[in-house]
Chains A and B, each alone.
Chain A
Amino acid sequence: GEDVEQSLFLSVREGDSSVINCTYTDSSSTYLYWYKQEPGAGLQLLTYIFSNMDMKQDQRLTVLLNKKDKHLSLRIADTQTGDSAIYFCAERSDDYKLSFGAGTTVTVRA
C-alpha cells in the first residue's frame, strides 16, 4: 500500500529558506507532487517531479528526490508571508489517483 509521511509544522523567518520533507513507500511511484492549501481554499498544484529526476527547479521552488531513500523535499527560497499555508506531498499511486501526506503547516514570521 501507499503511505506518505511529512512533519506537521514548520516555522520560518521571512526571507529565509523553507525546507519541507516527505517520505513515501511506493517504490513504483512515477510522479511525486507538492500541493499548497491556503486557508479556505482547495489544494493547488505547486510543482511535480518525475521519478527519474533527482532535482527540479521552478523559480523559488526546488524539489529534490532521493529515490533510493524514498525521500522528497521542497525548498522555498526567500520565503514570504504569502507562502504561509499547508503543503501536501503526494505520490501517484495509480494512473490517475494520488496518495497524500497529512500536510506540513508552514508559518512565516516577520
Chain B
Amino acid sequence: DAMVIQNPRYQVTQFGKPVTLSCSQTLNHNVMYWYQQKSSQAPKLLFHYYDKDFNNEADTPDNFQSRRPNTSFCFLDIRSPGLGDAAMYLCATSSFPSGRADNEQFFGPGTRLTVL
C-alpha cells in the first residue's frame, strides 16, 4: 500500500545533541510537509517542500532544518534540541495541483521526540 513512513516512531535525545527524523513516501507526491504537534495543541507547520523548493514558515526557529534529497525522502534536523522541542513531529505529503477538490494531505504516524 502506498503510504507515508516515519522513522523512528520514538526518539530520545539529550539536550543540545543533534537529532534527525526521517520521512519517506511511496505516493510520489511533489509536496512534503513537517509539522510539530505538542500535547493538546494544533499541528504547527514548520516548513514544506514543493518539489525541491524549500519553504520555511516565518516563525520556525533556526534550530530546525530540513533536507529533501529526492522525491521520496525528507529529513528534519534539529541542530541543538531544547526541552521545548519535545513534541510529536508529523510528516505529510500532498500532490499539487492534484486536480481534486480536497487536495488531501496524507500523514505519517509521527515521531515522538523526548529531550532529556
Contacts and interface: CB of A to CB of B under 8 A. Distances in A.
Contacts of B96: 95-96
Interface of B: 4, 31, 33, 40-43, 45, 48, 50, 90, 92, 94, 96-97, 101-110
Contact of A42 (B40, B103, B108): B108
Chain B contact residues, majority secondary structure: loop
Contacts of A45: 102, 104-105
A41 B109 CA distance: 4
Chain A contact residues, majority secondary structure: strand
Contacts of A41: 109
Contact of A43 (B43, B94, B102): B43
Contacts of B33: 97
B108 A31 contact: no
Contacts of A43: 43, 90, 92, 105, 107
B103 to A, nearest CB: 6
B107 A96 contact: no
Nearest to B109: A42
B42 A42 contact: no
Contacts of A102: 40-42
Contacts of B40: 8, 102-103
A4 B45 CA distance: 14
Contacts of A44: 107
Contacts of A95: 96-97, 103
